[in-house]
Structure 1
Amino acid sequence: MTTSDIAGSATSNIAGSAMTSHIAGSAMTFPGSTRVEMVMGIPVSVDIRTALPARELAPLLDDAFAWLRWVDDTFNPAKEDSQIGRLNRSQTIRQIPELIEVLHRCDELSRATDGWFEARINGVIDPSGYIKGWALERLSRALSNAGAGDHRITAGEDIRVRGSAAPGKRWRIGIRDPRTNVIRKVVFANDLGIATSGGSTIVNPHTGEVQNALGSVSVIGPDLGVADAYATAIYAMGPLLARRFAAELAASGPYQTMIISRDGQEVSTPGFIDYSGAEARLAG
C-alpha cells in the first residue's frame, strides 16, 4: 500500500523520524508493530497487531504517517501555505477532492447539530473539530484494506480500534478525562471510534464565547470523524442542552455519549453498557 492508496493527493514514500518504533528484527517475526511520531503537534500512535512480516509492516507505517502529515499540511489553518490557510486568505487553492469532502461533511454536521458544530465562524474556516477524527478514520480503513485489519490508532483523545488486540481479545480502551488524565470508563470493542472533547478550547459557535461549563464529552460510534464532531458540538452546548441532545442522538442511531460535569459527575447514554457494563444512565 502506498500513501496514494490512502489518499490520492498525498505524497508516497515520505517516512518521518519515529519517536518510538518497534519493527520485528526478522522478516518473519510476528505479531505486528507499533510506531509513535509527532504529528499535528501531538504524539500519534499506530499499533498494528495483524501478523504481517516486517517487510510489509514498515511500508504500511511509513505511509500511515505520511498520510497524517499530509492532512496536517493541507487542513491546519495555522499553516500559512495549507489549503485551509490559503482559503481563509482568499488565495488560490489546489483542486483536492479531500478538501471538498471535508468542507461538505462539516456543513452536513453543522445542520445535524443545529449549528453547534461549526467549521466556519466569522468568515474563518477551521475544521479542527472534525479533521483529526476524519484522518484517523480514513487511515483505519486504508490499513484494513491493506490487510492490517487488527490495529489501534491514537491521536490525543481520538482513538480508532479495529479487529482484535490479540486472537479472541477485544481492544481494551481507557477513556480519560482530558483535564485530569484520570480514566473515567473502560470500553471493550473490536470496531469503534472514540472521541473526547474538553482538553482544548471550544467556543460556542452562536456567541463566539469560550465554553467551559462541562468537564468533558466523549462520543463513541462507528465513524471517528462523526464522533469527533458530535463531541465538539455537545461540549459547546453546555450542560442542559448537551444532555438532551446526547439522549436524542443515542435514541436515533449508533452514537453514544458520556458527559463529565465540572464537578466530576458522570452520566452516559444507555448504549455505553454494551461496551463497558452498567454505569450511570442519561435520562432523556
Structure 2
Amino acid sequence: MTTFPGSARVEMVMGMPVSVDIRTALPAREMTPLLDDAFSWLRWVEDTFSPVKEDSQIGRLNRGQTIRQIPELIEVLHRCDELSEATGGWFESRINGVIDPSGYIKGWALERLSRALCNAGAGDHRITAGGDIRMRGSAAPGKRWRVGIRDPRTDLVRKVVFAHDLGIATSGATPIVDPRTGEVQKGLGSVTVIGPDLGVADAYSTAIYAMGPILAKRFAADLAEEGPYQTMIITRDGQEISTPGFAGYSGTEARLAG
C-alpha cells in the first residue's frame, strides 16, 4: 500500500502518552519544529489548566490567588459553563467550589492543535491522547483514518470508525463523578461520542457516562437528532447501543477482534 512519508512522535504529557502522527510530506526542516511546537502547546495547556499543579492558573484560581488574564482561560471556563447548561448540569467543571475542566480541556487542546497543524500545511494528521483522537486528511493517499473502539471489559475491538475529518472521545477508562452526588458513576462500561469538535465530544462523552444507563440512552438519542454528534454506549454487561448516524462512520470491518 502506498503511504505518506510524514513523521510521528510520542511524548508523555498530561500524565499519558500523546501521539502526533503527521502524514503530510514536509521537509525535515519544517517537520521537526512543527512537532516541537505541537508538544510545547500541549505542555502549556497542562501547566495552565491542570487542577493538581499548584502554580497552574486553575490551581491558583481554586486557592483564590491572582491569575493572569489569559484569553484561553476565559474561553475554556465560558465554554464549560455553556456545556454544563447544554447537558443539564451533567457536565460540570465546578464541583463543591473546585474548578476542574478536565472533562473538556484535553479534547479542546487536541482540537486547537489539529487546526494549527492544518494552518501550518500539515493537513493529514492524527493526534491521540488517551480516549481522545482527532484526525484530519488521509492516513495514506485516498485512505481514511481508521480507529478501533474497544470493549472496556475484553479490550476487543467492537467497532471500527473510518473518517477523513472527525473527533472521537471515549470516556470510562478513568473514574467519572456524578456531579449531583459526588460519587463515582459505575453504571456504564464506556461512552464514545464522535463529531466535528473534539472538545465538545469530550464533554458530551463525560456527561453521558455520568448520567448512568437510562438517562444516557435518552440524551444520546436527543443529541443525535439535534446535530452532528453521534454516540456509542457499551454497557457493563457488554450491550452496544449506537445512535443511527454512528453507522455512517463504520464499514464492513466494524467487528474485528483484537
For the structure 1 residues 179 and 121, does the alpha-carbon distance in structure 2 shift closer, same or farther, using more than 3 Å as the test? farther
Question: Separation in 2 of the partners of 1:277 and 1:63?
Answer: 35
- Per-residue CA deviation, residues 188-210 of structure 1 (Å, 9 max, x unaligned), is 00000000000111111111111
CA contact (8 A) 1:268 1:279 kept: no
Aligned partner (choices 149, 169, 180) of residue 206 of structure 1: 180
Alignment of 1:185-204 (within 5 A): 185-204=159-178
RMSD: 1.4
Q: Aligned partners of 2:15 and 2:60: how far apart in 1?
A: 20
Structure 1 segment 142-153 matched on structure 2, within 5 A: 142-153=116-127
% identical equivalent positions: 84
- Distance in 2, matches of 1:242 and 1:171, equals 28
Q: SS at the partner of 1:35? A: strand
Contact 2:188–2:212 under 8 Å retained in 1: yes
Count, aligned residues: 251
Distance 1:153 1:178 in 2: 21
Q: Is the 1:36–1:44 Cα contact (8 Å) retained in structure 2?
A: yes
Which position in structure 2 is the counterpart of 1:177? 151
- 1:266 match: 240
Structure 2: how far apart are the matches of 1:92 and 1:167? 50
1:37-186 paired onto structure 2 within 5 Å:
37-186=11-160
From 212, 215, 218, the equivalent of 1:244 is: 218
Structure 2 distance, partners of 1:186, 1:278, is 9
Would you say the 8 A contact 1:273–1:279 is kept in 2? no
Normalising by structure 2, report the TM-score: 0.95
* Structure 1 residue 175 displacement after superposition: 1.5
Look up the equivalent residue of 1:131 and give its one-letter code.
I
Which runs of no fewer than 5 residues in structure 1 stay unpaired? 1-29
**Bigger shift: 82-91 or 168-177?**
168-177
Cα distance in 1 for residues equivalent to 2:61 and 2:137: 38
Deviation by residue 1:114-162 (Cα, 9 ceiling, x = unmatched): 0000000000000000000000000000000000000000001100000
List alignment gaps of at least 5 residues for structure 2: none
Structure 2 SS opposite 1:235: helix
